Structure 1
Amino acid sequence: MSETQSIIVEKTVAHAPEKIWRTLTQSALIAKWLMPNDFEATVGHRFTFTTKPMGDWDGIVRCEVLDCDPPRLLRYSWKGGSDANPRYGSRLDTIVTWTLTLADGGTHVRMEHSGFRLPQNQSAWDAMTPGWGHVLDGIARVTAENI
């Protein structure tokens, strides 16, 4: 039986929630801090992120917007990988949740990427944990550049 693990990263960013929301939900801005995509902030919208293929994985993350409450909450599924890649590219069926809360000095940004099955997704979890921390820095940078 698998247990599940989450990646949680948090940071206060020196911008209003509405500015950060724009960075999280405009496709061209998302591409600057994460990956090329066809995102739309509409519940039920299916979209993809595209990155370099690895082994039997085609490099496409298939997603669907599950919840969208501007400028407070964004949740989407995150599915990708391949059953033939027992290491990094193992199949993921996970959820990404962004929560924005007004805070002293700006907005508290919390990202939780949940549903990593262990041990099957251990390598992906190990690789993505530090990556999501860097993503928050990218969101802060892109928001500042696009005010």
Structure 2
Amino acid sequence: MAEQTPELRTVVVERDIAQPPEKIWRALTQPHFIEEWLKMKPDFAAEVDRPYTMTAEWGAVEGRVLESDPFTTLSYTWSAFGLESVVTYTLTPSPRGTLLRVEQAGFPTTMEYAYQGARQAWPEYLAAIEQMLAGQP
């Protein structure tokens, strides 16, 4: 009998932010901004195939940039604690500024803790991005 693969789930969060896509792109790609909203120290550049590491007191996340279309789409793998997932940001101009959509895909049903953690964390991260950018020129 074949071994069954657990079903994979995805977390999707959207936030309409009163900032242009260019400012949100900087928040997602420039290390000093990433560190401010994600609370992790990144070795990151938005270059396709470039590996990165983000460190925090609790450990590290490693990955590789999959897609980098400035002001539109950023995607990278996210590997930590046995979870292999993909994070994709989509920036769409909106009447208010920019609709920022984040999708983290690849949560096995066997990793409920990681899935619930992401469901709680991403809205907080997007709020932190919005708050950080509100104070930027």
RMSD: 0.9
Q: Show the counterpart of 2:125.
A: 135
TM-score normalised according to structure 2 size: 0.93
- Tell me, in whole angstroms, the C-alpha distance in 1 between the residues paired with 2:51 and 2:108: 23
Q: Show the counterpart of 1:42.
A: 47
Aligned identity (percent) is 37
Structure 1 window deviating more from structure 2 (94-103 vs 124-133): it is 124-133
What do residues 5-35 of structure 1 show as CA deviations (whole Å, max 9, x unaligned)? Answer: 0111001000000111111110000000002
1:4 aligns with 2:8: yes
Q: Secondary structure at the match of 1:37?
A: strand
- The runs of 5 or more residues in structure 2 that have no matched partner are none
Q: Show the counterpart of 2:26.
A: 22
Q: Show the counterpart of 1:84.
A: none
Runs of 4+ in 1 over 6 A off after TM superposition: none
Equivalences, count: 132
Shift of 1:64: 0.7
- Tell me, in whole angstroms, the C-alpha distance in 2 between the residues paired with 1:141 and 1:32: 11
Q: Show the counterpart of 2:99.
A: 108
Q: Secondary structure at the match of 1:71?
A: coil
Shift of 1:92: 0.4
Shift of 1:145: 2.1
Shift of 1:63: 1.2
TM-score normalised according to structure 1 size: 0.87
Q: Secondary structure at the match of 2:102?
A: strand
